[in-house]
Amino acid sequence: MGKLRNIYLENRFFWAMGLVIVLFLIAYVMPAVYFVAIGCFLVVLVAVFFDAMVLFGAKDLVSASRTLNPQMSLGDVNPVKLTVENKTHQHFNIEVIDEFPVQLQIREKSDRFDLASNQAKTIVYNLEPKKRGEYIFGNINVFLKTRLGFLSRRRVIKENTVAKVFPSIVQMKKYELKMSSRTAAFHGIKKIRRLGQNNEFEQIKNYVQGDDYRVINWKATSRQNKLMVNQYQDERSQQVYCIIDKSRSMRMPFDGMSLLDYAINSTLTISNISMLKGDRAGIITYSDKLGARLKADRSGVHLKKIMEVLYKQKTQFNEANFELLYYGIRQNIKGRSLILLYTNFESIYAVQRVLPLLRKINQNHLLVVVFFENTEIAAAMDMECTSIKEVYFKTLAEKFMNEKQLIVSELRKYGIQTVISKPNELSVNTINKYLELKSRGMI
């Protein structure tokens, strides 16, 4: 009975049986056709019997396996490989249906191909997950047909696989590579000239041709009776904290991902960049109450800790409590630090409510407020109006965009740094702001 459940009659069988029935109907009028109908019916029966013998003559006609990265990247293209191998001397027409995770909402995707005897074929398809979490891949369903094509057999390969979708590791590695590339400017990363001196003493060394004569140490020179110079290095081990708002304002979607997910991807990228620059990276999350808190560090395992913390974050339905955030910063961040506050403001009123608290944070630290440009509204500003309704819509879009610029002006008026960015450009704009502040010696 188990085998019978996996038998499927194909269209070719129904066409053949339809022809036989037509011949039998004609035989009522023309008796000579009766024997032709009988012959066709027997041919169909023999073909079906042969199909069944080939398809069920062996237990394992084909094998299939799935290969994927157990740590997938959020919002990036992740390749998945399916390999199907024919273990017999027969030629099969194959249809493969993979059971995708429910988060992807993919229901109608199959691949069809011919597979010769004792051959294997690899299918590669790309997935772009839009949510963090566990993605469970189910069985691989392989439907086999012979060249006759009257029957097909379903072969279910148990290949349950669990993959975890983490913040974008691909994006992190991409910007890490671009930072060290000579073509970084072509990808939007600005290499800004350092202004003034912001170095700390490292050692005294012998003068070699090309050293700056302004750093000659005359006291050491007189003691050693040869020219000695001071050697400096960039200031390092400064604290960079990414603070992520998880309130309902960060649930807004863009291209299938929430603003929180864009902030999380950017946090992973900027944390990696800052640690490569010698600084220490930390994380705080909040909504109506404080969430995860990870102390700034730059040890070898710290990046893994950051990934695990970001992986678990979820948006809340509550309003953000900035007063609680202020006291949380005072309690958890010791010493002057660069604070990248990922949030989203849609009105000047929302900013004015929390502005006194933001100013207090900026007095003790260097605060950068990172928020988002509404790309849908920006697109509406460029639309051509053909009705009164569209004129009103465009006017409202311009009002909201002007309000965003008022927010930027209001924050900068009190010395608070800002980054306003499209969601898909958030990482590169945040990196540029970090490099700018480093070059100006502000951190």
Strand partners, 151: 9
Per-residue CA distances from 363 to 125, 242, 244 (Å): 51, 17, 20
Mean pLDDT of 335-340: 92
d(CA 26, CA 33): 7
- pLDDT higher than threshold 90 for residue 411: yes
d(CA 440, CA 240): 16
Q: What is the mean pLDDT of the chain?
A: 85
d(CA 274, CA 75): 22
Element spanning 234, H or E: strand 228-234
Please give the DSSP secondary-structure letter assigned to residue 117: T
- pLDDT higher than threshold 60 for residue 222: yes
The per-residue pLDDT for range 311-331, each reduced to its tens digit, is 999 888 888 999 999 999 999
Q: pLDDT-based confidence at 202, cuts 50/70/90?
A: low
| Residue 332 pLDDT | 92
Per-residue CA distances from 83 to 70, 119, 393 (Å): 17, 11, 52
* 3-class secondary structure, 309: helix
Q: What domains lie within the chain, and their CATH numbers?
A: 1-166 (2.60.40.10), 169-193+236-439 (3.40.50.410), 199-234 (no CATH)
Query: Within 10 A of 268 (CB to CB), how many other CB atoms are there?
Result: 29
Query: Within 10 A of 197 (CB to CB), how many other CB atoms are there?
Result: 7
Please give the DSSP secondary-structure letter assigned to residue 385: P
d(CA 20, CA 22): 5
Which two structure tokens, joined as six digits, stand for 120?
A: 């294997």
* 3-class secondary structure, 198: coil
- pLDDT higher than threshold 50 for residue 2: no
d(CA 69, CA 81): 10
Per-residue CA distances from 42 to 17, 45, 53, 254, 334 (Å): 11, 5, 16, 61, 89
Please give the DSSP secondary-structure letter assigned to residue 149: -
Please give the DSSP secondary-structure letter assigned to residue 216: B
* 3-class secondary structure, 294: strand
HSE-up of residue 245 (Cα within 13 Å, Cβ side)? 26
- Is residue 7 within 8 A of residue 151, CB to CB? The reply is yes
**The residue type at 311:** Y
Q: What percent of the chain has pLDDT over 90?
A: 39
| Residue 322 pLDDT | 93
More confident of the two residues 68 and 210: 68
d(CA 188, CA 429): 8
Element spanning 17, H or E: helix 11-29
Q: pLDDT-based confidence at 1, cuts 50/70/90?
A: very low
Mean pLDDT of 382-400: 76
Give the residue from 422, 132, 114 showing the smallest Cα distance to 255: 422
Per-residue CA distances from 338 to 13, 71, 333, 409, 442 (Å): 72, 30, 10, 20, 9
d(CA 98, CA 263): 32
The per-residue pLDDT for range 239-261, each reduced to its tens digit, is 999 999 999 889 888 888 999 99
More confident of the two residues 24 and 323: 323
Mean pLDDT of 102-122: 87
Mean pLDDT of 123-143: 91
| Residue 189 pLDDT | 65
| Residue 195 pLDDT | 44
* Order of strands across the sheet that contains 78-86: 62-68, 78-86, 120-127
Which two structure tokens, joined as six digits, stand for 312?
A: 């678990």
d(CA 392, CA 332): 47
- Dihedral sign (CA 304, 185, 439, 437): negative
d(CA 442, CA 419): 16
| Residue 187 pLDDT | 54
What are the phi and psi torsion angles at 253 (to 5°)?
Answer: -90, 150
**The residue type at 170:** V
